[in-house]
Structure 1
Amino acid sequence: MKLVTHFNSFLDDEVNLNKTRVELLSDSVEALKSAIKGSNFGPKILDFAAHGSWAHGTIIKPLPGDEFDTDLLVFVEPVNGWEAKDYVNKLGAFFDGHNTYKDKVRRYSHCVTIEYAGERRIDIAPCVKGRVHQDSYEVCNRTPNAFELASPLAYTDWVNGRNAVAGGNDLKKVTRLLKYLRDIKTNFTCPSFLFTTLVGSHIYDSDKGTAAFADTPTCLKTVIGRLDDWLQQNSSVPEIRNPVLWSEIQSRVWNQTHYSNFRDKINLYRGWIDDAYNEVDRDESIGKWQRVFGDAFAAGEAKEAAHVSESVAKSAALVLAGQFRDLVDLVKIKGREALPARIARLPYVHRPRWRAASQQYTVKVSADLHVSRYGDHIRTVSSLEPVQKGRAIRFRAMNNVGIPFSSGFKIVWRVTNTDKAAYDAGALRGDFYSSDSGASRTEELSYRGVHFVEAFLVGSGDNRLYGKSEPFYVVIE
Structure 2
Amino acid sequence: MKLVSLFDDFLKDTVNLNKTRIDLLEASIPALKSFVRASGWQPKVRTFVEQGSWAHETIIRPVDGKEFDADLLVVVDPVDGWTAAEYVESLGRAFSSSKTYEDKTKTCDYCVTITYAGDRRIDLAPCVVGRLWDGSMEVCNRKGSFERTEPVEYTDWMKERNAYSGNNSFRKVTRLVKYLRDIKQTFTCPSVLLTTLLGNEIQWFEKGNDEFADVPTTLKTLMGRLDDRLRIYSTRPTVTNPKLPSEDFSPLFGTDEQYSNFRTVIARYRKCIDEAHATEGRRESIKAWQKVFGTDFAKGDLVKAAAGLTENTGTSLVGRFLDSTAAHLGGIVDLVRDYGLSILPASFARPAHMQAPRWSSVSQPADIAVSAEWRSASHAEVGRPVAVGQLLRPQGGLYFRATLVDGTPVPPEYYVEWRITNTGAVAMSANAGRGGFEVSNKSKGRWETLLYRGIHMAEAFVVRRSDDLLVGVSKPFYVVIE
Q: Report the TM-score when normalising by structure 1.
A: 0.69
Counterparts in 2 of 1:422 and 1:26: CA distance versus 1, 3 Å: closer
Write the distance in 1 (CA, Å) between the matches of 2:40 and 2:390: 61
Write the distance in 2 (CA, Å) between the matches of 1:27 and 1:327: 48
Q: Which amino acid aligns with 1:22?
A: I
Counterparts in 2 of 1:18 and 1:260: CA distance versus 1, 3 Å: same
Counterparts in 2 of 1:122 and 1:445: CA distance versus 1, 3 Å: same
Write the distance in 1 (CA, Å) between the matches of 2:212 and 2:82: 49
Is 1:416 matched with 2:416?
no
**What is the deviation of 1:202?**
0.7
Which residue is equivalent to 1:282?
Answer: 282
Q: How many residues align?
A: 355
Which residue is equivalent to 1:83?
Answer: 83
**What is the deviation of 1:187?**
1.4
Query: Which string of whole-angstrom CA distances, capped at 9 and with x for unpartnered residues, describes residues 276-322 of structure 1?
Result: 11111110001111111111111111112224540x52xxxxxxxxx
Q: Which amino acid aligns with 1:215?
A: D
Query: Which string of whole-angstrom CA distances, capped at 9 and with x for unpartnered residues, describes residues 312-362 of structure 1?
Result: 52xxxxxxxxxx44489xx9xxxxxxxxxxxxxxxxxxxxxxxxxxxxxxx
Q: Secondary structure at the match of 2:251?
A: helix
Which residue is equivalent to 2:13?
Answer: 13
Is 1:184 matched with 2:102?
no
The runs of 5 or more residues in structure 1 that have no matched partner are 314-323, 332-385, 396-412, 437-441, 447-477
Which residue is equivalent to 1:51?
Answer: 51
Counterparts in 2 of 1:5 and 1:99: CA distance versus 1, 3 Å: same
- Bigger Cα displacement from structure 2, 90-99 vs 12-21: 90-99
Which residue is equivalent to 2:243?
Answer: 244
Which residue is equivalent to 1:356?
Answer: none
Contact 1:138 1:147 in 2 (8 A): yes
Q: Which amino acid aligns with 1:159?
A: M
**What is the deviation of 1:96?**
1.7
Contact 2:303 2:343 in 1 (8 A): no
Which residue is equivalent to 1:256?
Answer: 256
Write the distance in 2 (CA, Å) between the matches of 1:180 and 1:415: 26
Query: Which string of whole-angstrom CA distances, capped at 9 and with x for unpartnered residues, describes residues 196-237 of structure 1?
Result: 101111111121001101111111110001001111111111
Counterparts in 2 of 1:233 and 1:96: CA distance versus 1, 3 Å: same
Which residue is equivalent to 2:62?
Answer: 62
Write the distance in 1 (CA, Å) between the matches of 2:35 and 2:84: 22
The runs of 5 or more residues in structure 2 that have no matched partner are 350-388, 397-422, 428-482
Which residue is equivalent to 2:219?
Answer: 220
**What is the deviation of 1:39?**
2.0
Q: Which amino acid aligns with 2:46?
A: L
Counterparts in 2 of 1:285 and 1:36: CA distance versus 1, 3 Å: same
Contact 2:306 2:343 in 1 (8 A): no
Contact 1:416 1:431 in 2 (8 A): no
- Bigger Cα displacement from structure 2, 95-104 vs 131-140: 95-104
Write the distance in 2 (CA, Å) between the matches of 1:71 and 1:215: 29
Which residue is equivalent to 2:467?
Answer: none
Q: Which amino acid aligns with 1:297?
A: F
Contact 2:241 2:249 in 1 (8 A): yes
Contact 1:389 1:445 in 2 (8 A): no
Is 1:293 matched with 2:293?
yes
**What is the deviation of 1:433?**
3.6
**What is the deviation of 1:415?**
5.1
Write the distance in 1 (CA, Å) between the matches of 2:329 and 2:295: 28
Pairing of 1:98-247 with structure 2 (within 5 A):
98-144=98-144, 146-247=145-246
Which residue is equivalent to 2:41?
Answer: 41
**What is the deviation of 1:27?**
1.0
**What is the deviation of 1:250?**
0.7
Counterparts in 2 of 1:205 and 1:391: CA distance versus 1, 3 Å: closer
Q: Secondary structure at the match of 2:42?
A: coil
Q: Which amino acid aligns with 1:248?
A: E
Q: Which amino acid aligns with 2:68?
A: F
Q: Secondary structure at the match of 1:248?
A: strand
Contact 1:105 1:112 in 2 (8 A): yes
Pairing of 1:379-394 with structure 2 (within 5 A):
none
Counterparts in 2 of 1:97 and 1:426: CA distance versus 1, 3 Å: same
**What is the deviation of 1:64?**
3.6
**What is the deviation of 1:37?**
1.4
Q: Secondary structure at the match of 1:80?
A: coil
Write the distance in 1 (CA, Å) between the matches of 2:391 and 2:295: 11
Query: What CA RMSD, in Å, does the superposition of the two structures yield over aligned residues?
Result: 3.1
Q: Report the TM-score when normalising by structure 2.
A: 0.68
Write the distance in 2 (CA, Å) between the matches of 1:306 and 1:196: 37
Write the distance in 1 (CA, Å) between the matches of 2:343 and 2:200: 48
**What is the deviation of 1:88?**
0.7
Q: Secondary structure at the match of 2:103?
A: coil
Q: Which amino acid aligns with 2:119?
A: E
Q: Which amino acid aligns with 2:186?
A: N
Contact 1:174 1:216 in 2 (8 A): yes
Q: Which amino acid aligns with 1:13?
A: D
**What is the deviation of 1:393?**
11
Write the distance in 2 (CA, Å) between the matches of 1:422 and 1:198: 39
Is 1:444 matched with 2:425?
yes
Pairing of 1:326-475 with structure 2 (within 5 A):
326=315, 416-417=334-335, 423-424=344-345, 431=391, 433-434=393-394, 444=425
Contact 1:112 1:123 in 2 (8 A): yes
**What is the deviation of 1:59?**
0.4
Q: Which amino acid aligns with 1:211?
A: D
**What is the deviation of 1:120?**
1.0
Write the distance in 2 (CA, Å) between the matches of 1:296 and 1:62: 14
Q: Secondary structure at the match of 2:81?
A: coil
Contact 1:130 1:136 in 2 (8 A): yes
Which residue is equivalent to 1:271?
Answer: 271
Write the distance in 2 (CA, Å) between the matches of 1:430 and 1:139: 41
**What is the deviation of 1:73?**
0.2
Q: Secondary structure at the match of 2:247?
A: strand
Write the distance in 2 (CA, Å) between the matches of 1:221 and 1:131: 44
Counterparts in 2 of 1:433 and 1:37: CA distance versus 1, 3 Å: same
Write the distance in 2 (CA, Å) between the matches of 1:103 and 1:432: 40
Aligned residues: percent identity?
48
Q: Secondary structure at the match of 2:197?
A: helix
